[in-house]
């Protein structure tokens, strides 16, 4: 269930100079859990399972040395990208995120083969092998990356929103960032301009509790991150990011607000990553028990599966979906392993667009 | 005794201004803080306040007078109880000559930047401009503004964003009039937020617009350099040519007058080292206009480095409906046979001035303005070196890891057999720019240093 932000009881006023509580400002409506059709439930499940299996396979290929450098897996956070992106208008709205970007691309329906081939650095990769895990883009899908500098996508996303408003094309930008990025200065520079100019943007904090190895409590003076926009008058929503229906429901409330021209919304999605920050992270900063407890109690796929079982979907159906997804992922891995590397002349292409 | 009110200097570089309007008349009582007059420079209109109490005695410079030198007595104030006594003799003309300052005017501290601004102009026409083209006289500032305005008229995707670009008309008045013509949708004042608006601009470019992002000076772009390099310059490559970032980052760069180390620095070599960027640093108004238009049109991200000290200088600009110059082509500003002197931005003036002096001593220098620093037009430099066999690089910037050191390497790698002597560079001293006038003068390049280097390189062979 999406949670509305806890409202603080108003403190008794002692002096006339105490500022009025901000609660009488207009807020987006309280979100409600999304009432999905059985077809939609199955679609969400498929997409989330594809992300999970894809990321597991990427982890394996990394272990085999087929994927190099940094590789940040999305396992555990699947409901966030799937829930939010299902609410967007693919023809109009734009999306941008940081380096943990495989899940967002899969949630967009981008071919897993070209994503996996980018991870293995092959010519058939979506960035022709020149971007890698952290730098993938699909202008066709209005997916603007894939950015390796923590927090940069927040300013860039604000620029995408600026372009929507400038062209008056009705589009909304969605800018994903983590709890770690939420402490970057440019995030607040962007908040200020976004609200000042009422830009159509949803700022999404994927709070997976750890900025690399530093927990939110050890890094953030205000650890209720949905409140981080308050001094810019940006309304905040805190959402259960392990429940895809809650995420989708909250996205609709946020989109209503933004599409009505009322400016940005800040969504905090409480989620969890099961794997380390990147493949090279031994994750010593938390216990195995903590991770296991989240898996047991809050896993996004298990949660959705229960909802689907209640809706009458049978175990056979789940098995069939699982088999199908495993085949897609295996194909993408085969493709990514066997596709040729870029030709050497590609080293010098795409540095500049024009000839001088 | 009447108090003399003198034409104030509104900036370190101001030498004269226009007395636009008197807000008081003779006989008016004034007190400290009252606004007496409006004074205009090419940068701004300022209000001139009274510091003393008393009565306006005489107004000595009429409103509407142009070219009033700093330090000229413009009015007198008599103290309380005093008669409006005869003022000290008024200057003979309303705009007295600057070379006859009154003796009680303290000598204005000199700036090292004065040695950077010379009258020199290109000795030959730019071959890119058709012969017989009519010329108009424009300041560099006006040329830049016209370039933006023309491109904005032609393409709705182009917009200008930055601090004080709209309602204030530009901190250095480069965007003057744009708000009036194009409105607040396309000429946008930002908060003091360089990192944020550089990123916002880069994102808008990725989203299909053509932003012109003004930095009040490039010193402040250090707050934003992450987006210039990591977001703008690398996008096309990282996306395999899929995603573009057609954006112009522009503003003044290089030493300004008496503003100390944090506001005086040439960042050209920093940006010129980054693959994926176009870096342009023009000298005269014609190049400023033609290259800024090209910068706005290209699909690549551009760092466009202007120079505050050149904004007010006037040059001939082709009177063409669409004066666009090619990016990546150097310009021979003065042909010569004995030595090649290469520079860019404000250094070009020093090179031309030195070449004129050296001509009197029998040395025929060829002066090349690089204009674009990335991609660097090495072919033009090497062709000249082949002819003159001597190379001097002049750069208003630090010597270490500079454009000068890059060109020396180019000459080593590709023109070694043409060199009769080692390449020499004439750069600023390798120190943060000091505030004190004498130290500032010592730190910055000047014409004598250029001339000395040319003679030294000629004496080596």
Chain A residues whose CB is inside 8 A of the B375 CB are 356
- CB contact under 8 Å between A349 and B206, yes or no, is no
At what angle are helices A112-119 and A315-338 packed, to 10 degrees? 50
Written as one string, the DSSP assignment of A188-239 is HHHHHHHHHTT--EEEEEEE-SEETTEEHHHH-SS--GGGGGGGGT--EEEE
Q: Containing H/E element for B78?
A: strand B73-78
Among the listed residues B190, B194, B170, the one whose alpha carbon sits nearest the alpha carbon of residue B180: B170
Asked whether the predicted pLDDT for residue B169 surpasses 70, the reply is: yes
Residue B375: cis peptide before it, omega within 30 degrees of 0 = yes
**Given a cut of 70, is residue A13 above it in pLDDT?**
no
SS3 B347: helix
A210-211 vs A214-215, strand pairing mode: antiparallel
With 70 as the cut, is the pLDDT of residue B87 above it?
A: no
Using CA atoms, how far residue A27 sits from A5, A236, A257, B429, in Å, is: 11, 9, 8, 58
Query: Are B238 and A129 a contacting pair at CB < 8 A?
Result: no
Average confidence (pLDDT) over A50-79 = 94
Q: Do B197 and A193 touch (CB under 8 A)?
A: yes
Strand B339-343: give its sheet, edge to edge: B331-334, B365-369, B339-343, B391-395, B424-427
- Name the pTM for this structure: 0.86
Q: B217 to each of A285, B37, B265, B460, how far by Cα in Å?
A: 44, 30, 10, 40
B85: pLDDT confidence band, cut at 50, 70 and 90? very low
Q: What's the length of chain B?
A: 461
* B38 catalytic per annotation: no
Yes or no: say if A148 and A134 are a contact pair by the CB < 8 Å rule.
yes
Mean pLDDT in chain B? 91
Nearest residue, CB atoms, B226 vs list A126, A152, A160: A152
Which is nearest to B210 in space by CA: B295, B330, B98, B319? B295
B128 neighbourhood in chain A, CB within 8 Å:
none
Q: What is the pLDDT of residues A201-253, one digit of tens each?
A: 999 999 999 999 899 999 999 999 999 999 999 999 999 999 999 999 999 99
**How far is A144 from chain B, CA to nearest CA, in Å?**
7
Which residue is listed with tokens 């009769």? Answer: B420
**A270 strand-pairing partners:** A207, A240
Residue with tokens 């990147």: A278
Give me A123's structure tokens.
């010519």
Distances in whole angstroms, Cα of residue B24 to Cα of each of B27, B38, B50: 9, 11, 11
Q: Which residues of B touch A164 (CB under 8 A)?
A: 207
Instruction: Count Cβ atoms below 10 Å from residue A71 Cβ, excluding itself.
Output: 22
Cβ <8 Å between B244 and A164 = no
- Cα separation of A31 and A246, whole Å? 8
Query: Element (H or E) spanning A145, and its range?
Result: strand A143-146
Best residue in A155, A345, A346 to probe B by mutation, most B CBs within 10 Å? A155
Give the residue with greater pLDDT, B57 vs A23. Answer: B57
Residues of chain B in contact with residue A189, where contact means CB-CB under 8 angstroms, are 191, 193, 195-197
Condensed to tens digits (0 to 9), the pLDDT of residues B279-303 reads 999 999 999 999 999 999 999 999 9
Q: At what angle do helices B347-359 and B447-459 cross, to 10 degrees?
A: 60
Confidence tier at A39 by pLDDT (50, 70, 90): very high
> CB-CB: which of A139, A159, A192 is closest to B204?
A159
Q: What is the DSSP letter of A348?
A: G
B83 confidence band (pLDDT: 50, 70, 90):
low
Q: Residue B221: pLDDT above 90?
A: yes
Among residues A99, A108, A102, which one has the least CA distance to residue A61?
A102
What is the rounded distance in angstroms from the CA atom of residue B112 to the CA atom of residue A64? Answer: 62
Mean pLDDT of A97-108: 95
**A133 touching chain B per CB within 8 A:** no
Question: Which residue in B199, B208, B232, B328 has the most chain A C-beta atoms within 10 A of its own C-beta, making it the best mutation to test that interface?
Answer: B199
Question: Of the candidates A164, A167, A186, which has its C-beta nearest B199's C-beta?
Answer: A186
Half-sphere exposure of B380 (CA within 13 A, CB side): 21
Query: From CA B351, how far away is CA B366, in angstroms rounded?
Result: 9
Burial class (CB in 10 A: 0-12, 13-18, 19+), A329: buried
- What is the percentage of chain B residues whose pLDDT exceeds 70? 93
- In the set B227, B263, B323, B390, the catalytic residue is B263
Alpha helices in A112-184 (DSSP H): 112-119, 152-167
For B191, which of A128, A162, A193 is closest by C-beta distance?
A193
Q: Which residues pair with B76 in a beta bridge?
A: B4
At residue B110, the pLDDT reads 73
* Chain A residues lying within 8 Å of B191, measured CB to CB: 189, 192-193, 196
Torsion of CA A30, A33, A35, A39, to 10 degrees: 140
C-alpha dihedral, B209 to B214 to B219 to B224, nearest 10° = -30
Residues in chain A, overall count: 356
SS3 at position B118: coil
The stretch A316-323 carries a mean pLDDT of 96
DSSP summary character for residue B63: T
Three-class SS state of B318: strand
- Per the DSSP assignment, residues forming a β-bridge with B317 are B136
According to the model, what pLDDT value does residue A283 have? Answer: 83
Distance CA B299, CA B280 (A): 15
> Which residues in chain B are closer than 8 Å to A347, comparing Cβ atoms?
none
Summarised one tens digit per residue, pLDDT across range B322-362 is 999 999 999 999 999 999 999 999 999 999 999 999 999 99
B194 given a catalytic annotation: yes
Comparing A44-58, B72-86, B198-212, which segment has the lowest mean pLDDT? B72-86
What letter does residue A85 receive in the DSSP assignment? H
| Residue listed under structure tokens 């099961």 | A274
Instruction: Give the model's confidence band at B258: pLDDT under 50 very low, under 70 low, under 90 confident, else very high.
Output: confident
Residues A204, B453: Cα–Cα separation, whole Å: 59
* Nearest-angstrom CA–CA distance, A53 and A63: 15
Listed in sequence order, the DSSP H helices in B251-402 are 268-272, 285-297, 347-359, 378-388
Candidates A144, A167, A186; nearest CB to B243: A144
Q: A 171-230 residues with CB below 8 A of B?
A: 173, 185-186, 189-190, 192-193, 196
Q: E strands along B262-371, which residues?
A: 278-280, 302-306, 314-318, 331-334, 339-343, 365-369
Sheet containing B210-214: give its strands across: B187-189, B158-162, B210-214, B248-252, B302-306, B278-280, B372-374
| Mean pLDDT value across residues B239-268 | 95
Kindly report the backbone phi and psi dihedral angles of residue B52, in degrees, each rounded to the nearest multiple of 5, phi listed first: -110, 160
pLDDT for res B303: 98
Could you tell me how many helices (H) and strands (E) chain A has, helices first?
11, 8
Q: CA A57 → CA A89, A201, B383, distances in Å?
A: 30, 33, 57
At residue B82, does pLDDT exceed 80?
A: no
With 0-12 / 13-18 / 19 or more C-beta atoms within 10 angstroms meaning exposed / middle / buried, residue B454 is buried
């Amino acid at each position: 269930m999406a949670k509305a932000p806890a409202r603080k009881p108003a403190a008794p006023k002692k002096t006339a100079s105490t500022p009025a509580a901000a609660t009488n400002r207009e807020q987006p409506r309280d979100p409600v859990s999304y009432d999905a059709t059985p077809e939609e439930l199955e679609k969400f499940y498929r997409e989330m399972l594809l992300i999970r299996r894809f990321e597991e396979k990427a982890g394996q290929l990394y272990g085999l040395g087929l994927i190099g450098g940094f590789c940040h897996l999305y396992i555990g956070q699947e409901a966030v990208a799937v829930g939010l992106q299902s609410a967007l208008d693919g023809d109009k709205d734009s999306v941008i995120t940081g380096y943990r970007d495989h899940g967002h691309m899969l949630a967009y329906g981008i071919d897993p083969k070209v994503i996996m081939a980018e991870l293995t650095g092959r010519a058939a990769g979506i960035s022709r092998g020149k971007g890698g895990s952290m730098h993938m883009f699909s202008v066709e899908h209005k997916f603007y990356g894939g950015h390796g500098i923590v927090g940069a996508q927040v300013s860039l996303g604000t620029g995408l929103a600026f372009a929507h408003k400038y062209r008056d094309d009705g589009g909304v930008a969605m800018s994903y960032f983590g709890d770690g990025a939420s402490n970057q200065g440019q995030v607040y520079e962007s908040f200020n301009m976004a609200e000042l100019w009422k830009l159509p943007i949803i700022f999404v904090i994927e709070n997976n509790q750890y900025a690399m190895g530093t927990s939110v409590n050890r890094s953030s003076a205000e650890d209720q991150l949905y409140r981080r926009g308050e001094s810019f008058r940006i309304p905040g929503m805190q959402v259960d990011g392990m429940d895809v229906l809650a995420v989708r429901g909250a996205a609709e409330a946020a989109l209503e607000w933004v599409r009505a021209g009322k400016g940005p919304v800040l969504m905090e999605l409480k989620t969890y990553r099961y794997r380390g920050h990147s493949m090279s992270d031994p994750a010593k900063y938390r216990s195995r028990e903590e991770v296991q407890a989240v898996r047991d109690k809050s896993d996004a796929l298990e949660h959705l599966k229960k909802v689907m079982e209640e809706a009458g979907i049978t175990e056979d159906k789940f098995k069939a979906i699982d088999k199908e997804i495993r085949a897609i992922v295996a194909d993408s891995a085969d493709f990514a392993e066997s596709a040729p590397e870029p030709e050497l002349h590609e080293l010098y292409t795409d540095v500049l667009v024009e000839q001088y | 005794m009447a108090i003399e009110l003198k034409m104030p200097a509104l900036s370190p570089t101001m030498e004269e201004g226009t007395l636009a309007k008197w807000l008081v008349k003779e006989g008016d009582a004034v007190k400290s803080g009252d606004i007496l007059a409006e004074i205009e420079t090419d940068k701004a209109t300022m209000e001139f306040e009274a510091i003393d109490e008393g009565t306006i005695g005489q107004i000595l410079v009429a409103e509407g007078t142009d070219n009033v030198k700093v330090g000229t007595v413009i009015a007198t104030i008599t103290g309380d109880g005093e008669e409006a006594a005869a003022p000290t003799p008024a200057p003979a003309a309303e705009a007295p000559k600057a070379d006859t300052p009154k003796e009680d005017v303290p000598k204005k501290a000199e700036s090292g930047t004065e040695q950077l601004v010379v009258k020199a102009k290109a000795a030959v026409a730019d071959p890119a401009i058709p012969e017989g083209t009519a010329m108009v006289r424009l300041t560099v500032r006006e040329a830049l503004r016209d370039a933006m305005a023309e491109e904005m008229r032609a393409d709705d995707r182009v917009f200008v964003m930055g601090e004080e670009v709209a309602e204030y008309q530009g901190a250095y008045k480069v965007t003057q009039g744009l708000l009036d013509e194009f409105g607040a949708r396309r000429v946008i004042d930002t908060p003091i937020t360089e990192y944020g608006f550089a990123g916002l601009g880069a994102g808008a470019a990725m989203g299909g617009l053509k932003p012109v992002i003004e930095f009040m000076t490039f010193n402040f772009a250090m707050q934003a350099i992450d987006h210039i390099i990591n977001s703008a310059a690398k996008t096309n490559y990282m996306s395999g040519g899929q995603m573009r970032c057609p954006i112009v980052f522009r503003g003044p760069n290089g030493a300004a007058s008496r503003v100390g180390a944090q506001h005086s620095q040439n960042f050209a070599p920093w940006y010129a080292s980054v693959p994926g960027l176009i870096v342009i640093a023009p000298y005269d108004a014609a190049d400023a206009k033609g290259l800024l238009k090209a910068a706005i049109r290209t699909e690549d991200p551009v760092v466009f480095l202007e120079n505050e000290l050149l904004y007010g200088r006037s040059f001939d600009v082709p009177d063409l409906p669409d004066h666009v110059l090619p990016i990546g082509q150097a310009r021979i500003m003065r042909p010569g046979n004995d030595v090649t002197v290469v520079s860019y931005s404000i250094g070009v003036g020093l090179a031309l001035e030195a070449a004129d002096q050296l001509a009197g001593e029998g040395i025929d220098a060829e002066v090349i303005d690089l204009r674009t620093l990335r991609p660097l037009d090495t072919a033009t430099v090497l062709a000249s070196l082949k002819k003159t066999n001597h190379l001097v690089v002049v750069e208003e910037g630090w010597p270490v890891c500079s454009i000068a050191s890059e060109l020396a390497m180019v000459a080593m790698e590709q023109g070694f057999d043409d060199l009769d002597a080692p390449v020499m560079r004439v750069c600023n001293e390798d120190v943060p720019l000091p505030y004190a006038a004498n130290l500032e003068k010592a730190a910055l390049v000047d014409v004598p240093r250029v001339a000395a280097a040319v003679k030294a390189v000629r004496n080596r062979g």
